[in-house]
Amino acid sequence: MNFEQRLAILDYMGQYLKIDSPPYQGARNTAYEKNKWFLPEYIFQSGVAIADHMLSPSILHAANNTYQLDTPSNNMNKVGIIMAGNIPWVGLQDVISVLLSGHNAVIKTSSKDGDLIQHLINAIQSSYPEISNCITFQDMLKGCDAYLATGSDHSARHFEYYFRNHPHLIRKNRTSIALLDGTESENELAALADDIQLYFGLGCRNVTQVLVPKGYDFQPLLQALKKYDFYKEHDKYRNNFDFRLTLAIMNKQYYMSNDSLLLIEDANPFSPISQLNYWYYENQEDISSLIDREKIQCIVGKGHLPFGQSQQPQLTDFPDGLDTLQFLKDLSFPATQQS
Protein backbone atom coordinates (compact mmCIF):
# COMPACT_ATOMS: atom_id res chain seq x y z
CA MET A 1 0.00 0.00 0.00
CA ASN A 2 1.11 3.53 -0.64
CA PHE A 3 1.21 6.28 1.97
CA GLU A 4 -2.23 7.71 1.15
CA GLN A 5 -3.83 4.28 1.47
CA ARG A 6 -2.28 3.84 4.87
CA LEU A 7 -3.50 7.28 5.92
CA ALA A 8 -7.01 6.31 4.88
CA ILE A 9 -6.84 3.17 7.03
CA LEU A 10 -5.56 5.13 10.04
CA ASP A 11 -8.30 7.72 9.60
CA TYR A 12 -10.89 4.94 9.53
CA MET A 13 -9.33 3.47 12.68
CA GLY A 14 -9.76 6.79 14.47
CA GLN A 15 -13.36 7.11 13.38
CA TYR A 16 -14.16 3.60 14.56
CA LEU A 17 -12.72 4.24 18.02
CA LYS A 18 -14.93 7.31 18.44
CA ILE A 19 -18.24 5.66 17.53
CA ASP A 20 -20.04 3.69 20.25
CA SER A 21 -21.30 1.04 17.82
CA PRO A 22 -22.96 -2.21 18.98
CA PRO A 23 -20.05 -4.37 17.75
CA TYR A 24 -17.58 -2.16 19.61
CA GLN A 25 -19.77 -2.29 22.72
CA GLY A 26 -19.74 -6.08 22.51
CA ALA A 27 -15.95 -6.18 22.18
CA ARG A 28 -15.53 -3.90 25.19
CA ASN A 29 -17.88 -6.00 27.29
CA THR A 30 -16.01 -9.16 26.32
CA ALA A 31 -12.69 -7.55 27.24
CA TYR A 32 -14.11 -6.56 30.62
CA GLU A 33 -15.35 -10.07 31.32
CA LYS A 34 -11.81 -11.36 30.76
CA ASN A 35 -10.03 -8.53 32.55
CA LYS A 36 -11.92 -6.65 35.26
CA TRP A 37 -9.46 -3.75 35.14
CA PHE A 38 -10.74 -2.93 31.65
CA LEU A 39 -13.96 -1.09 32.38
CA PRO A 40 -15.92 -0.72 29.11
CA GLU A 41 -16.11 3.05 29.61
CA TYR A 42 -12.35 3.19 30.12
CA ILE A 43 -11.76 1.28 26.90
CA PHE A 44 -13.93 3.76 25.03
CA GLN A 45 -12.32 6.77 26.75
CA SER A 46 -8.82 5.56 25.89
CA GLY A 47 -9.82 4.91 22.27
CA VAL A 48 -11.24 8.41 21.88
CA ALA A 49 -8.06 9.93 23.31
CA ILE A 50 -5.96 7.97 20.80
CA ALA A 51 -8.26 8.95 17.94
CA ASP A 52 -8.04 12.64 18.89
CA HIS A 53 -4.32 12.81 19.65
CA MET A 54 -2.77 10.22 17.33
CA LEU A 55 -5.11 9.52 14.44
CA SER A 56 -6.49 12.85 13.27
CA PRO A 57 -5.42 13.72 9.69
CA SER A 58 -3.65 16.88 10.85
CA ILE A 59 -1.54 14.94 13.35
CA LEU A 60 -0.66 12.23 10.83
CA HIS A 61 0.33 14.79 8.21
CA ALA A 62 2.39 16.69 10.78
CA ALA A 63 4.26 13.47 11.59
CA ASN A 64 4.91 12.97 7.88
CA ASN A 65 6.22 16.51 7.54
CA THR A 66 8.66 15.86 10.37
CA TYR A 67 9.84 12.38 9.40
CA GLN A 68 9.15 12.31 5.62
CA LEU A 69 7.42 8.96 5.96
CA ASP A 70 5.88 9.17 2.47
CA THR A 71 9.32 9.00 0.82
CA PRO A 72 9.26 5.97 -1.52
CA SER A 73 11.27 3.04 -0.22
CA ASN A 74 11.76 -0.55 -1.30
CA ASN A 75 12.99 -1.47 2.16
CA MET A 76 9.73 -2.62 3.77
CA ASN A 77 10.23 -4.57 6.99
CA LYS A 78 8.27 -6.90 9.22
CA VAL A 79 8.24 -5.26 12.64
CA GLY A 80 7.37 -7.48 15.58
CA ILE A 81 5.39 -5.75 18.33
CA ILE A 82 5.23 -7.22 21.82
CA MET A 83 2.33 -5.44 23.47
CA ALA A 84 1.83 -4.59 27.10
CA GLY A 85 -1.65 -5.00 28.55
CA ASN A 86 -1.72 -2.84 31.64
CA ILE A 87 -4.31 -0.34 30.35
CA PRO A 88 -6.68 -0.40 27.35
CA TRP A 89 -5.14 0.17 23.91
CA VAL A 90 -1.68 0.70 25.38
CA GLY A 91 0.03 -0.99 22.41
CA LEU A 92 -1.90 0.77 19.67
CA GLN A 93 0.62 3.61 19.33
CA ASP A 94 3.20 1.13 18.06
CA VAL A 95 0.75 -0.29 15.51
CA ILE A 96 -0.06 3.22 14.27
CA SER A 97 3.63 4.08 14.00
CA VAL A 98 4.52 0.93 12.07
CA LEU A 99 1.62 1.35 9.66
CA LEU A 100 2.32 5.07 9.16
CA SER A 101 6.00 4.43 8.44
CA GLY A 102 5.26 1.95 5.67
CA HIS A 103 6.27 -1.28 7.39
CA ASN A 104 4.22 -4.36 8.25
CA ALA A 105 3.26 -5.12 11.85
CA VAL A 106 3.43 -8.59 13.35
CA ILE A 107 1.69 -8.39 16.70
CA LYS A 108 2.01 -10.52 19.81
CA THR A 109 -0.84 -9.38 22.02
CA SER A 110 -0.84 -9.34 25.78
CA SER A 111 -2.90 -12.03 27.48
CA LYS A 112 -4.66 -9.15 29.25
CA ASP A 113 -5.60 -7.32 26.08
CA GLY A 114 -5.71 -9.67 23.10
CA ASP A 115 -9.27 -9.44 21.87
CA LEU A 116 -9.54 -5.65 21.55
CA ILE A 117 -6.81 -5.11 18.98
CA GLN A 118 -7.94 -8.11 16.96
CA HIS A 119 -11.51 -6.79 17.01
CA LEU A 120 -10.30 -3.42 15.74
CA ILE A 121 -8.26 -4.88 12.89
CA ASN A 122 -11.14 -7.18 11.90
CA ALA A 123 -13.51 -4.20 11.86
CA ILE A 124 -11.17 -2.23 9.62
CA GLN A 125 -10.70 -5.22 7.34
CA SER A 126 -14.38 -5.18 6.38
CA SER A 127 -13.80 -1.83 4.64
CA TYR A 128 -10.08 -2.14 3.90
CA PRO A 129 -9.31 -5.83 3.28
CA GLU A 130 -5.76 -4.91 2.28
CA ILE A 131 -4.93 -4.30 5.95
CA SER A 132 -4.48 -8.07 6.29
CA ASN A 133 -1.35 -7.68 4.16
CA CYS A 134 0.31 -5.31 6.63
CA ILE A 135 -1.00 -6.35 10.07
CA THR A 136 -0.88 -9.96 11.27
CA PHE A 137 -0.85 -11.73 14.64
CA GLN A 138 1.50 -14.38 16.03
CA ASP A 139 1.63 -16.16 19.38
CA MET A 140 5.42 -16.27 19.11
CA LEU A 141 7.24 -13.67 17.08
CA LYS A 142 9.55 -15.23 14.54
CA GLY A 143 11.14 -14.08 11.32
CA CYS A 144 10.75 -10.35 11.92
CA ASP A 145 13.28 -7.78 10.76
CA ALA A 146 12.96 -5.51 13.82
CA TYR A 147 11.17 -5.47 17.16
CA LEU A 148 9.29 -3.09 19.45
CA ALA A 149 8.74 -4.46 22.94
CA THR A 150 7.27 -3.10 26.14
CA GLY A 151 7.44 -4.83 29.49
CA SER A 152 8.94 -4.92 32.95
CA ASP A 153 12.61 -4.32 33.73
CA HIS A 154 12.96 -8.09 34.10
CA SER A 155 11.36 -8.92 30.74
CA ALA A 156 13.35 -6.12 29.07
CA ARG A 157 16.58 -7.95 29.87
CA HIS A 158 15.23 -11.05 28.13
CA PHE A 159 14.07 -9.00 25.13
CA GLU A 160 17.51 -7.41 24.83
CA TYR A 161 19.04 -10.88 24.65
CA TYR A 162 16.49 -12.47 22.31
CA PHE A 163 16.53 -9.58 19.84
CA ARG A 164 20.22 -8.70 20.10
CA ASN A 165 20.83 -9.55 16.43
CA HIS A 166 18.00 -7.37 15.14
CA PRO A 167 17.20 -3.66 15.36
CA HIS A 168 14.98 -3.16 18.39
CA LEU A 169 13.46 -0.69 20.83
CA ILE A 170 12.91 -2.10 24.31
CA ARG A 171 10.82 -0.15 26.86
CA LYS A 172 11.12 -0.78 30.59
CA ASN A 173 9.17 0.08 33.74
CA ARG A 174 8.38 3.76 34.04
CA THR A 175 5.99 5.83 36.05
CA SER A 176 4.96 9.47 36.39
CA ILE A 177 5.04 12.02 39.17
CA ALA A 178 3.41 15.34 39.99
CA LEU A 179 5.18 18.42 41.30
CA LEU A 180 2.95 20.49 43.59
CA ASP A 181 3.57 23.79 45.36
CA GLY A 182 0.37 24.17 47.38
CA THR A 183 -1.23 26.87 45.22
CA GLU A 184 -3.13 24.46 42.96
CA SER A 185 -6.76 25.36 42.33
CA GLU A 186 -9.71 23.05 42.95
CA ASN A 187 -9.99 22.44 39.20
CA GLU A 188 -6.29 21.62 38.91
CA LEU A 189 -6.52 19.10 41.74
CA ALA A 190 -9.60 17.55 40.14
CA ALA A 191 -7.61 17.14 36.92
CA LEU A 192 -4.68 15.71 38.90
CA ALA A 193 -7.07 13.12 40.34
CA ASP A 194 -7.52 11.85 36.77
CA ASP A 195 -3.76 11.70 36.27
CA ILE A 196 -3.52 9.58 39.41
CA GLN A 197 -6.56 7.32 39.28
CA LEU A 198 -7.69 6.98 35.66
CA TYR A 199 -7.40 3.33 34.52
CA PHE A 200 -6.92 2.43 38.21
CA GLY A 201 -3.45 3.98 38.14
CA LEU A 202 -2.02 1.09 36.12
CA GLY A 203 -0.35 3.05 33.30
CA CYS A 204 3.20 4.35 33.07
CA ARG A 205 1.70 7.82 32.59
CA ASN A 206 -0.33 7.58 35.80
CA VAL A 207 1.00 9.72 38.63
CA THR A 208 2.15 7.43 41.44
CA GLN A 209 4.04 9.97 43.54
CA VAL A 210 3.59 13.65 44.38
CA LEU A 211 6.46 15.89 45.42
CA VAL A 212 5.22 18.54 47.85
CA PRO A 213 6.74 21.32 49.98
CA LYS A 214 7.09 20.94 53.74
CA GLY A 215 3.84 21.82 55.46
CA TYR A 216 1.71 20.90 52.44
CA ASP A 217 -2.02 20.56 53.20
CA PHE A 218 -3.20 17.22 51.79
CA GLN A 219 -6.89 17.69 52.55
CA PRO A 220 -7.81 19.44 49.26
CA LEU A 221 -6.06 16.68 47.29
CA LEU A 222 -7.80 13.94 49.28
CA GLN A 223 -11.10 15.66 48.66
CA ALA A 224 -10.42 15.94 44.91
CA LEU A 225 -9.61 12.24 44.77
CA LYS A 226 -13.08 11.39 46.10
CA LYS A 227 -14.32 11.56 42.51
CA TYR A 228 -12.96 8.00 42.30
CA ASP A 229 -14.77 6.74 45.40
CA PHE A 230 -16.64 4.32 43.14
CA TYR A 231 -13.45 2.23 43.05
CA LYS A 232 -14.50 0.98 46.51
CA GLU A 233 -17.15 -1.10 44.73
CA HIS A 234 -14.60 -2.69 42.40
CA ASP A 235 -13.59 -6.01 43.95
CA LYS A 236 -10.05 -6.22 42.60
CA TYR A 237 -9.27 -2.62 43.52
CA ARG A 238 -10.85 -2.94 46.98
CA ASN A 239 -8.80 -6.06 47.69
CA ASN A 240 -5.63 -4.10 46.91
CA PHE A 241 -6.76 -1.20 49.09
CA ASP A 242 -7.59 -3.46 52.05
CA PHE A 243 -4.25 -5.24 51.72
CA ARG A 244 -2.25 -2.00 51.64
CA LEU A 245 -4.22 -0.56 54.53
CA THR A 246 -3.62 -3.70 56.59
CA LEU A 247 0.12 -3.51 55.88
CA ALA A 248 0.25 0.13 56.98
CA ILE A 249 -1.59 -0.65 60.21
CA MET A 250 0.48 -3.73 61.02
CA ASN A 251 3.72 -1.83 60.37
CA LYS A 252 2.47 1.13 62.42
CA GLN A 253 3.10 3.31 59.39
CA TYR A 254 1.59 6.76 59.21
CA TYR A 255 -0.92 7.10 56.40
CA MET A 256 -3.70 9.34 55.16
CA SER A 257 -6.79 8.09 53.38
CA ASN A 258 -10.12 9.12 51.91
CA ASP A 259 -11.30 5.48 52.12
CA SER A 260 -10.48 4.75 48.48
CA LEU A 261 -6.80 5.72 48.27
CA LEU A 262 -3.88 5.65 50.71
CA LEU A 263 -1.25 8.39 50.91
CA ILE A 264 2.08 7.06 52.19
CA GLU A 265 5.34 8.96 52.66
CA ASP A 266 7.82 7.13 50.44
CA ALA A 267 10.75 8.26 48.30
CA ASN A 268 10.01 5.54 45.75
CA PRO A 269 8.20 7.04 42.70
CA PHE A 270 6.52 3.67 42.06
CA SER A 271 3.51 2.93 44.21
CA PRO A 272 1.16 -0.09 44.22
CA ILE A 273 -2.50 -0.02 43.20
CA SER A 274 -4.66 2.02 45.62
CA GLN A 275 -1.66 3.88 47.05
CA LEU A 276 -0.15 7.27 46.22
CA ASN A 277 3.33 8.02 47.51
CA TYR A 278 4.37 11.50 48.57
CA TRP A 279 7.74 13.02 49.36
CA TYR A 280 8.76 16.41 50.65
CA TYR A 281 11.16 18.81 48.97
CA GLU A 282 12.97 21.83 50.39
CA ASN A 283 13.62 23.95 47.28
CA GLN A 284 14.03 23.81 43.51
CA GLU A 285 17.53 22.39 43.75
CA ASP A 286 16.21 19.66 46.02
CA ILE A 287 13.54 18.78 43.45
CA SER A 288 16.13 18.11 40.75
CA SER A 289 18.00 15.68 42.97
CA LEU A 290 14.78 13.81 43.81
CA ILE A 291 13.75 13.05 40.23
CA ASP A 292 15.29 10.00 38.57
CA ARG A 293 14.76 10.76 34.89
CA GLU A 294 15.47 7.15 33.93
CA LYS A 295 12.34 6.05 35.79
CA ILE A 296 9.96 8.90 34.99
CA GLN A 297 7.73 8.96 31.90
CA CYS A 298 6.26 12.40 32.54
CA ILE A 299 6.08 15.13 35.20
CA VAL A 300 2.74 16.79 35.85
CA GLY A 301 2.54 20.28 37.36
CA LYS A 302 3.06 23.94 36.74
CA GLY A 303 5.85 24.44 34.23
CA HIS A 304 5.51 20.80 33.17
CA LEU A 305 2.71 18.74 31.66
CA PRO A 306 -0.63 20.41 32.51
CA PHE A 307 -2.84 18.77 35.09
CA GLY A 308 -5.22 16.24 33.57
CA GLN A 309 -3.12 15.63 30.45
CA SER A 310 -0.98 12.66 31.43
CA GLN A 311 -3.37 10.11 29.90
CA GLN A 312 -3.74 11.99 26.62
CA PRO A 313 -0.37 11.42 24.96
CA GLN A 314 0.32 12.69 21.46
CA LEU A 315 1.59 10.44 18.67
CA THR A 316 5.13 11.72 19.29
CA ASP A 317 5.00 11.31 23.08
CA PHE A 318 7.06 8.15 22.82
CA PRO A 319 7.33 5.53 25.59
CA ASP A 320 10.62 5.89 27.48
CA GLY A 321 11.38 8.90 25.28
CA LEU A 322 12.61 6.57 22.52
CA ASP A 323 11.71 8.00 19.11
CA THR A 324 9.73 5.17 17.56
CA LEU A 325 9.05 6.93 14.27
CA GLN A 326 12.72 7.78 13.73
CA PHE A 327 13.66 4.18 14.52
CA LEU A 328 11.14 2.96 11.94
CA LYS A 329 12.26 5.59 9.43
CA ASP A 330 15.86 4.40 9.78
CA LEU A 331 14.78 0.85 8.97
CA SER A 332 13.75 2.09 5.55
CA PHE A 333 16.80 4.28 5.11
CA PRO A 334 19.72 2.96 7.18
CA ALA A 335 22.18 5.59 8.36
CA THR A 336 24.80 4.33 5.94
CA GLN A 337 22.48 5.16 3.04
CA GLN A 338 21.44 8.60 4.26
CA SER A 339 23.24 11.71 3.20
pLDDT at 253 over 60: yes
pLDDT at residue 257 tops 70: yes
Comparing 70-79, 103-112, 270-279, the range with the smallest average pLDDT is: 70-79
Task: Decide if pLDDT at 95 tops 90.
Answer: yes
Residue spans per domain, the chain:
3-173+325-334, 175-294
Average pLDDT over residues 91-117: 93
Question: Mean of the pLDDT values across residues 190-214?
Answer: 97
Residue 325: exposed, middle, or buried by beta-carbon count in 10 A (0-12, 13-18, 19+)? buried
- Compute the half-sphere exposure of residue 214: CA atoms within 13 Å on the CB side of its CA: 5
Spell out the CATH class of 3-173+325-334. Answer: alpha beta
Mean predicted lDDT score pLDDT of the chain = 94
Beta sheet of 207-213, edge-to-edge order: 255-257, 262-265, 275-281, 207-213, 175-179, 296-301
* φ/ψ of residue 287, rounded to 5: -60, -45
pLDDT band at residue 290 under the 50/70/90 scheme: confident
Please give the distance of CA 115 from its chain centroid, rounded to a whole number.
18
Is the pLDDT at 268 greater than 90? The verdict is yes
Query: So what's the pLDDT on residue 203?
Result: 96
Q: Of residues 73 and 47, which shows the higher confidence score? A: 47
The per-residue pLDDT for 285 is 79
The pLDDT assigned to 154 comes to 86
pLDDT of residue 332: 75
Average pLDDT of 197-215?
97
**Looking at residue 284, what is its pLDDT?**
78
Q: At what angle are helices 57-67 and 324-332 packed, to 10 degrees? A: 60
pLDDT surpassing 60 at residue 73: yes
Structure confidence at residue 334 (pLDDT)? 60
**Residue 335 confidence (pLDDT) above 70:** no
What CATH homologous superfamily does 175-294 map to? Aldehyde Dehydrogenase; Chain A, domain 2 (3.40.309.10)
Rounded to an integer, the average pLDDT of 281-290 is: 85
In tens, the pLDDT along 35-69 reads: 999 999 999 999 999 999 999 999 999 999 999 99
pLDDT the model gives residue 72: 67
Give residue 114's pLDDT. Answer: 75
Beta pairing class for 146-150 and 78-82: parallel
Q: What whole-number percentage of the chain has pLDDT above 90?
A: 86
What is the average pLDDT across 235-249?
98
The whole-number pLDDT of residue 56 equals: 96
Model pLDDT for residues 4-23, shown as the tens digit of each residue:
999 999 999 999 999 999 99
